[in-house]
Amino acid sequence: MRLDGKVALVTGAAMGIGAGIAERFSEAGAAVAVFDINAQGACQKAESLCRSGRAIAIPGDVAHEADVRNAVARTVEELGSLDVLINNAGIAPPVSVLELTPAEWDRQLAVNAKGAFLFSKYAIPYLRRRGGAIVNISSTHAFTSYEGYAAYDASKAALLGLTRTLAVEHGRDGIRVNAICPGYVRTPMTDEWLASTPDPMQALQKVLALHPLGRMGTPHDVAEAALFLASDAAAFITGTFLVVDGGLTVAGH
């Protein structure tokens, strides 16, 4: 699975799953645009990728249309084209429905769902020129729910609906659109959640016990799935989703 000569734009790529995808795509031969609201983190990630390939950093907010337009335009201008879009940026602050404010709801839906819509809207005119791929990073939260994650669950389910519609609308343009649904992945966000629990080690052991494979996922696990869906190896796959969760959901969690 190679991406030689291709250009990928990855949102939320300064750390966690997005960083893992950016790194793996660079290893596979792609030039990578690293987009993140964390400008310093985006620059640091792009600099590290430039040691072995081409990469640029683009700071911005996925929920701001002007930032999205700028990111797509800069990617094409500075890297020469756009072949793969990875809609990965997301936030997941746990808040119960009764405590969730309309502003908090709007922000989660804006980052997790609207951002993917905006990036797809502005990327598709370029993707159709060479036959491209969009991979939306959803979550097992799209079809399993936990207390405190109403907005997050709704936004990740919305991504699956967006994925299906984009696949139908743009299949004849040669654009494939798929989603990945990760479960627990060891990222800074996960570590922050574990640290907030009364007994982080006990919480970690409980999480590990939920997985038939006996471990949490890594950004590399999700990156390998994204590389497959973005590559020619998945040339006849569109409009579907790939669960990457170590068996979490089939075990009933």
Active site residue 152: yes
Rounded alpha-carbon distances, angstroms, from residue 186 to 36, 74, 101, 215 = 19, 31, 28, 10
- Neighbouring residues of 162: CB distance < 8 A, sequence distance ≥ 6: 113, 116, 117, 120, 136
Could you give phi then psi for residue 207, rounded to 5 degrees?
-65, -45
Residues 6+ apart with CB under 8 A from 119: 9, 11, 62, 68, 71, 72, 85, 87
Q: Which positions ≥6 away from 36 have C-beta within 8 Å?
A: 11, 12, 13, 14, 15, 18, 42, 45, 57, 59, 60, 89
CA distance 227 to 108: 26
Consecutive H or E run containing 197: none
C-alpha distance from residue 192 to each of 12, 34, 41, 85, 176 (Å): 17, 23, 17, 28, 34
Nearest to 20 by CA among 251, 223, 248, 249: 223
Please say whether the beta carbons of 194 and 200 come within 8 A: yes
- The catalytic residue among 126, 149, 152, 184 is 152
Catalytic residues: 152
